[in-house]
């Protein structure tokens, strides 16, 4: 794993990435806790914001929090990661008297009513659709192989590095929507 101290600058992290031929580094605090990741996308964000990479701390632009599976994990249940999106759509649909029962239709209606911005609508529907696609793809592979009864389990090791990074980004977005939901209905930021 490519580690970078939390007190490093973006320029220092970029040098580490280039030296190691890595496209990302894990940011680690003084207690050796992984607190975020810095990717090419984050470095581009630094440039877009007009920040000087030599003086900009990695903690200012890193992607955080980190969502990860233990190394011994062989599978994760795709449906458990889809449920927060389903719940988000269901709760807001109830609040706004939307009668649709399909999650994507509920999200569309929430966007039409300006409850969800265009950006949030795109992000949450793409996240949900991607998770559904991975789930169905794994089920189809189970059926084709004839070795297992199709289920909701996905092996992260069977995903490409790009798919794994996309999943991590989706988990970050899910956390954002859970916080929004919690704040809207309880007045406190936190998990639903």
Q: Where in the chain is the domain with CATH 3.10.580.10?
A: 3-61
Percentage helix, strand, coil, to 5, in the chain? 55, 10, 30
The third-level CATH classification (topology) of the domain covering 3-61 is CBS-domain (3.10.580)
pLDDT tens per residue across span 146-156: 766 777 777 77
Query: With the CA atoms of 100, 166, 175 and 134 taken in that order, what torsion angle do they form, in degrees rounded to the nearest 10?
Result: 40
Half-sphere exposure of 169 (CA within 13 A, CB side): 15
Is the pLDDT at 189 greater than 80, yes or no?
A: no
pLDDT at 192: 35
At residue 98, the pLDDT reads 93
CATH code, 76-186 = 1.20.120.330
Range 3-26 average pLDDT? 88
Cis peptide leading into residue 36 (ω within 30°): no
Query: What percent of the chain stands above pLDDT 70?
Result: 88
C-alpha dihedral sign at 44, 9, 38, 84? negative
Reported as a single tens digit per residue, the pLDDT across 89-127 is: 999 999 999 999 899 999 999 999 999 999 999 999 999
Q: Please list the residue range(s) of the chain that carry CATH number 1.20.120.330.
A: 76-186
Which band of pLDDT confidence, cut at 50, 70 and 90, is reported for residue 8? very high
**Tokens describing residue 119:** 């950006």
Please give the model's pTM, rounded to 2 decimal places: 0.56
Give the model confidence (pLDDT) of 160-185 as tens digits.
Answer: 888 888 888 888 888 888 888 887 87
> At CA 53, angle to CA 48 and CA 59, rounded to 5?
90
User: Can you tell me the distance from the alpha carbon of 148 to that of 100, in angstroms, rounded to the nearest whole number?
Assistant: 34
Kindly state the helix (H) or strand (E) to which residue 152 belongs, with its residue range.
Answer: none
Does 33 sit behind a cis peptide bond, omega within 30 degrees of 0 on the bond before it? no
pLDDT for residue 190 is more than 70 = no
Q: What is the rounded average pLDDT for all residues in the chain?
A: 83
191 band by pLDDT with thresholds 50, 70 and 90 = very low
Q: What is the pLDDT of residues 39-97, one digit of tens each?
A: 877 888 888 888 899 999 999 988 876 655 555 444 556 677 788 899 889 999 999 99
pLDDT value at residue 74: 46
The pLDDT assigned to 34 comes to 85
Q: Which of 31, 33, 46 has the alpha carbon at shortest distance from 13?
A: 46
């Amino acid at each position: 794993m490519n580690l970078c101290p939390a007190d490093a600058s973006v320029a220092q992290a970029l040098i580490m990435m280039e030296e190691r031929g890595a496209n990302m580094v894990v940011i680690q605090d003084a207690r050796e806790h992984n607190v975020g990741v810095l990717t090419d996308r984050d470095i581009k964000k630094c440039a877009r914001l007009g920040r000087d990479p030599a003086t900009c701390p990695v903690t200012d632009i890193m992607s955080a929090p980190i969502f990860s599976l233990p190394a011994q994990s062989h599978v994760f249940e795709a449906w458990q990661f889809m449920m927060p999106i389903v719940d988000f759509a269901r709760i807001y649909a109830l609040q706004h008297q939307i009668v649709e029962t399909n999650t994507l239709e509920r999200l569309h209606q929430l966007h039409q009513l300006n409850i969800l911005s265009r950006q949030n609508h795109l992000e949450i529907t793409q996240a949900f659709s991607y998770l559904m696609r991975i789930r169905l793809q794994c089920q189809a592979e189970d059926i084709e192989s004839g070795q297992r009864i199709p289920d909701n389990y996905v092996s992260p090791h069977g995903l490409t590095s790009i798919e794994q990074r996309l999943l991590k980004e989706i988990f970050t977005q899910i956390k954002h929507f859970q916080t929004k939901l919690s704040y809207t209905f309880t007045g406190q930021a936190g998990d639903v």
